[in-house]
Amino acid sequence: MFRDISIIIVSYNTVGLLRNCLVSLRNSEAAGSEIIVVDNASGDGSAEMVQAEFPAVRLIKNGENLGFARGSNQGIREARGKYILMLNSDTVTHQGAVRAMTEFLESNADAGAVTCKLLNEDGSIQATISDRPGPVLLLFRLLSMSQLVTRDRHRRFLGSFGFVLGRTIRGYLAPYCAGIEPFEVENASGACLMVRHAVLDSLGLLDERFFMYFEDMDLCRRIRGAGWKLYYLPQVEITHLVGKSSGNRMRRYGIHSHRALFAFYQKHFSQTICFIVRCMVFTTSTFRWIWNCALGALLRDSGYRRNAQDLKELIRICF
């Protein structure tokens, strides 16, 4: 079975995280899989570490940072497996996880891709799937409302009132109310996503216009648009040290993430929705910029000042 799996890991200056990721794979049943690491010109010795400590891993060394989508596509083009597992370098694979996802695809012919439960370092569950990528969910995240329900018991409590909250928020809370049975979803994080190689051959690979972020959501929409289903396995777990592979910068302030956000909405939604999304980002970012400027001046905190500078650049690209 595991000879049919190709695991693609794109890395950029994550030598310690990458080592832990590869060790977890080596210590799991996935040790028999084809593992391909695409290094985007890391300057921390990541490529040299892979060559020295994991000689069985196939290494692709880039001369520059090509981004996540292009890097993933490089690995996929070299992959020989029937199933492609895209895995972030800041993940730790639990025993049985790769087997469970593979067996699910083997036994469910309608499934084009499958994902599993991603856990934070403290064992809490990450919000990695959703039903709709529309403006309502975006507003929910831009206003940091998701931070109000960071504990699983709070999410489960809110989920019990899902009929009041609407479909979008129900989709956001669904993983925390789930039992052990797999269920269909619309979108899933590319931090851990297993896709049939044949699906990628027919649909095309990741859209390389997305340098980083939203290439996974775009792929999920294309998979479902072609008639395939995407499933979530709540009983299968992988730890994801979220944010650390991107330098621990705040994602919501990132230029790359918001350029990708605008590109995603431009590709899949009307001009009216795109304009609304840009207005939402502009408004929330402006308020955050004022807040960080004030705190940076009051507390003389360099962190708030850096946030303010990031937000200033983000505001400039909104229109």
pLDDT of residue 250: 45
Measured from the Cβ of residue 248, the count of other Cβ atoms closer than 10 Å reads 10
pLDDT of residue 158: 64
Per domain, the residue ranges of the chain are: 2-246, 270-316
pLDDT of residue 142: 75
Low-confidence ranges of the chain (pLDDT < 50): 247-253
State the amino acid at position 61 in one-letter form. K
CA distances from 211 to 3, 66, 127, 224, 314 (A): 30, 7, 22, 22, 16
CATH class of 2-246: alpha beta
Q: Which residue has the tokens 């070299």?
A: 78
Q: 218-269 pLDDT, tens per residue?
A: 999 999 999 999 999 999 999 999 765 554 444 444 788 899 999 999 999 9
pLDDT of residue 251: 43
CA distances from 126 to 1, 88, 274 (A): 29, 14, 27
pLDDT of residue 248: 43
pLDDT of residue 242: 78
pLDDT of residue 180: 80
pLDDT of residue 319: 87
Global confidence as pTM? 0.86
